[in-house]
């Protein structure tokens, strides 16, 4: 039996929890790296996403509490003619040691111009 999750018309292609110690983590979507970088600048909780060549860099600013994130899918890239979205939630276990729990879901939309 195959299990498939669809949320608001988006196919869930990956979902998981990882424990991160340090300032970044890289998730691989096939051959496309998605680098998530944790940055502290005290200017409020926010995120940016940029595509650099065939990779994606997501900067998470000031995610330093027991619960910061985006539960509404945000667009991060296009892959194989489909929009790629991500939700994420960060629980900071110890800010000084840069120890975090990252919960993520990767979703894909329908084929563009299909």
Interval 75-111: pLDDT, tens: 999 888 999 999 999 999 998 999 999 999 999 999 8
Contact between 30 and 14 under an 8 Å Cβ cutoff? The reply is no
Q: What predicted TM-score, i.e. pTM, was given to this entire model? A: 0.89
Contact between 77 and 56 under an 8 Å Cβ cutoff? The reply is yes
The mean pLDDT of the chain is 93
Q: For a pLDDT cut of 70, what percent of the chain falls above it?
A: 99
What ranges do the domains of the chain cover?
6-109
Please state the rounded mean pLDDT for residues 54-73: 93
């Amino acid at each position: 039996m195959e299990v498939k999750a669809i949320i608001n018309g988006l196919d869930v292609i990956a979902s998981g929890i990882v424990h991160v110690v340090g300032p970044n983590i890289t998730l691989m979507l096939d051959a496309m790296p998605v680098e998530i970088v944790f940055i502290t600048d005290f200017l409020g909780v926010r995120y940016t996403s940029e595509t650099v060549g065939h990779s994606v860099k997501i900067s998470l600013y000031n995610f330093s509490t027991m619960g910061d994130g985006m539960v509404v899918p945000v667009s991060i890239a296009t892959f194989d003619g489909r929009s790629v979205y991500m939700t994420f939630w960060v629980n900071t276990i110890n800010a000084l040691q840069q120890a975090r729990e990252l919960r993520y879901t990767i979703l894909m939309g329908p084929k563009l111009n299909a």
